[in-house]
């Protein structure tokens, strides 16, 4: 199984980045891992300028399905939320699932009929997602994030069965930090609380009594951020802080940190922090705390890759972070305890489970895609369980 999450699908629409993404993922990763089932979750389908870019989505999917690397994937299900004219429902989420021809016994759940159906052929659905029986799509209530006039955040859930092993795949996009200053005021920040509320809503929804509870993988752009206040205080422990307020509203407009010995300004989040520096990564992980609230419900493989956000969108600066935000692991692949139990790790296969990012040296937008490759044990707990290769991408 290969799971992949790509936050900025709009970055794939330029003539430069489309072949790069195809090469990095389908040629390199498919040839390396040779998965039989591929799950690709995208957020911000159509990109930041979705009204202008949405027309390119169909051609991108068509190219994807017809690419040479996909020739052995005889079945596919693609769900794209492109209807930006419906502000009450639009989530800009995209879910793509590709099934290898050698995988014979695979079914998808019909949420209306409440039963599994065998998967045949390739289907692309974008015009009527709300009425589609094979998924659940929901947008977060507006009052979850009152500072935003209009939000595209929400989730899409699908359910699958490989042989006698069934599980849910959930695509999610949570709220971002709207202001560095507001995020700095409290520990944890108000934005962290908003994301916690929304994620709790999703977990309650996918484990309620309407359907049988199954193992679940939930992956996408969680927008998890480091504890900004704690990071800044750690970076600037020897500095004094000057608060600059707006003359009109008296709200904090700027924070200036000065070193106590030479009065120089301190810039905590400069691009000089190389994402390849091991100590930098390990130090920042200490402040990655948002998932701890859900430690009884969500699990994750160990993180050994750099923060997935915010990278420069300059095509010549693929390894460079922007200095407007503190780097963070926004893009994640999480799972329930029962789902984690399905991951097979034979003692003689060191890399049977791989959790990493993609395109470390190539500009892929402000987020780096993250993927999880593993062998899925079908018939878990049985003496002769089958093993299928899978890949999940965030």
Residue 260: asked if its preceding bond is cis (omega within 30°), the reply is no
Burial class (CB in 10 A: 0-12, 13-18, 19+), 59: exposed
Residue 331: its pLDDT value, please? 96
Stretch (H or E) spanning 281: helix 278-285
Domains and CATH numbers, the chain: 2-225+273-393 (3.60.10.10)
Bigger pLDDT: 364 vs 23: 364
Query: Phi and psi for 232 in degrees, rounded to 5?
Result: -65, -45
**Is 11 within 8 Å of 17 (Cβ atoms)?**
yes
Q: What is the pLDDT of residue 123?
A: 96
**Is the confidence at residue 393, as pLDDT, over 90?**
no
User: Which residue reads 């593993």 in tokens?
Assistant: 374
Give the Cα separation of 230 and 232 in Å (integer).
6
250-295 pLDDT per residue, tens = 776 777 767 666 555 544 444 334 444 444 567 889 999 999 999 9
Please provide the average confidence, as pLDDT, over all residues in the chain: 82
Q: Which pLDDT band, with edges at 50, 70 and 90, does 128 fall under?
A: confident
Section 180-188 average pLDDT: 86
pLDDT at 235: 72
Q: What is the DSSP letter of 28?
A: I
Could you tell me which residue, 29 or 46, shows the higher pLDDT?
A: 46
DSSP 188: S
Per-residue confidence (pLDDT) for residue 238, from 0 to 100 = 65
pLDDT score at 359? 83
321 in Cβ contact with 216 (< 8 Å)? no
Look at residue 176 in the predicted model and tell me its pLDDT: 92
Q: For residue 196, is pLDDT > 80?
A: yes
List CB contacts of 31: < 8 A, sequence separation 6 or more: 69
* Across 175-189, average pLDDT: 88
Residue 327 CA to residue 308 CA, distance in Å, equals 7
Lowest pLDDT segment from 17-26, 32-41, 165-174, 192-201: 17-26
DSSP state of 202: H
Q: Report residue 156's pLDDT band, with 50, 70 and 90 as the boundaries.
A: very high
- pLDDT surpasses 80 at 135: yes
Q: What pLDDT score does 1 carry?
A: 61
Element spanning 231, H or E:
helix 228-235
Taking residues 147-163, report their average pLDDT. Answer: 87
| Integer Cα distance of 287 and 304 in angstroms | 15
Tell me the range of 12-16, 82-86, 278-282, 299-303 where mean pLDDT is highest. Answer: 299-303
Tell me what pLDDT residue 250 has: 72
**Cβ partners under 8 Å of residue 311, min gap 6:** 317, 318, 319, 320, 321, 322, 363, 364, 365, 366, 367, 368
Under 8 Å between Cβ of 111 and 138: no
- The token duo for 377 is 């044990």
Record the tokens describing residue 266, joined without a space: 């301190």
Partner residues linked to 373 by β-bridges: 2, 391
Element (H, E) at 166: strand 165-173
Buried b (16+ CB within 10 A) or exposed e, 195-233: bbebbeebbeebeeeeeeebbbbbbbbbbbbbbbbebbe
**Mean of the pLDDT values across residues 28-48?**
86
In this predicted structure, the answer to whether residue 19 has a pLDDT above a threshold of 50 is: no
Provide the percentage of residues in the chain whose pLDDT is more than 70.
79
210: pLDDT strictly greater than 50: yes
More confident of the two residues 220 and 164 = 220
CA distances from 127 to 80, 131, 314, 368 (A): 8, 9, 33, 29
- Is pLDDT larger for residue 1 or for residue 40? 40
Q: Model confidence over 60-118: pLDDT tens digits? A: 888 888 888 889 999 999 999 998 888 889 999 999 999 999 998 899 999 999 999 99
């Amino acid at each position: 199984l290969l799971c992949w999450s790509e936050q900025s699908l709009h970055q794939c629409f330029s003539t430069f980045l489309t072949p790069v993404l195809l090469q990095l993922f389908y040629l390199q990763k498919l040839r390396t891992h040779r998965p039989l089932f591929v799950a690709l979750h995208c957020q911000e389908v159509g990109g930041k300028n979705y009204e202008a870019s949405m027309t390119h989505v169909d051609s991108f999917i068509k190219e994807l399905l017809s690419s040479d690397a996909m020739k052995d994937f005889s079945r596919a299900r693609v769900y794209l939320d492109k209807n930006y004219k419906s502000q009450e429902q639009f989530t800009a989420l995209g879910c793509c699932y590709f099934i290898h021809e050698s995988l014979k016994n695979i079914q998808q759940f019909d949420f209306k009929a409440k039963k599994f159906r065998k998967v045949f052929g390739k289907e692309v659905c974008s015009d009527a997602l709300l009425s589609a029986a094979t998924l659940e799509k929901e947008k977060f209530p507006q009052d979850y994030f009152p500072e935003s006039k209009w939000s595209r955040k929400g989730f899409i859930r699908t359910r699958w069965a490989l042989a006698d092993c069934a599980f849910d795949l959930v695509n999610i996009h949570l709220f971002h930090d709207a202001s560095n200053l507001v995020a700095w005021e409290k520990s944890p920040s108000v934005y962290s609380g908003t994301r916690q509320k929304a994620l709790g809503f999703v977990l309650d929804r996918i484990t309620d009594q309407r359907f049988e509870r199954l193992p679940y993988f939930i992956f996408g752009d969680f927008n998890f951020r480091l504890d900004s206040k704690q990071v800044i205080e750690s970076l600037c422990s020897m500095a004094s802080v000057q608060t600059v307020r707006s003359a009109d509203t008296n709200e904090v407009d700027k924070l200036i940190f000065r070193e106590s010995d030479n009065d120089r300004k301190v810039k905590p989040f400069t691009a000089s922090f190389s994402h390849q520096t091991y100590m930098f990564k390990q130090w920042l992980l200490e402040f990655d705390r948002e998932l701890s609230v859900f430690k009884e419900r969500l699990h994750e493989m160990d993180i050994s890759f750099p923060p997935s956000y915010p990278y420069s969108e300059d095509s010549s600066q693929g390894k460079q972070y922007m200095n407007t935000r503190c780097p963070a692991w926004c893009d994640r692949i999480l799972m329930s305890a029962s789902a984690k139990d399905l991951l097979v790790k034979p003692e003689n296969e060191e890399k049977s489970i791989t959790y990493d990012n993609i395109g470390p040296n190539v500009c892929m937008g402000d987020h780096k895609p993250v993927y999880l490759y593993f062998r899925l044990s079908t018939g878990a707990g049985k003496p002769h369980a089958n093993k299928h290769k899978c890949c999940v991408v965030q």
